[in-house]
Amino acid sequence: MAINFMADYHQENFFHGDIKPDNLFINDRFEMSSDAGTLLYLGRSDVIPSDKPLYIVNMFTPGYASFEHIDAIIKGEARSREQLMREDKHQLFVTLQLFLRIQKVKPTSPLCLKLLAYLKDDSLSVIAINKLLRGDVAL
Q: What are the residue boundaries of the structural domains of the chain, listed by start?
A: 5-43+54-134
Q: Domain 5-43+54-134, what fold?
A: Transferase(Phosphotransferase); domain 1 (1.10.510)
pLDDT over 70 at 136, yes or no: no
Read off the pLDDT band of 1 (50, 70, 90). Answer: very low
With cut-offs at 50, 70 and 90, classify the pLDDT of residue 2.
very low
Own/partner pairs, 38-46, CB within 8 angstroms, 24+ separation: 39/9, 39/14, 39/15, 40/14, 40/15, 40/84, 41/13, 41/14, 42/13, 42/14, 42/15, 42/81, 42/84, 43/13, 44/13, 45/13, 45/81
Structure confidence at residue 129 (pLDDT): 63
pTM value is 0.78
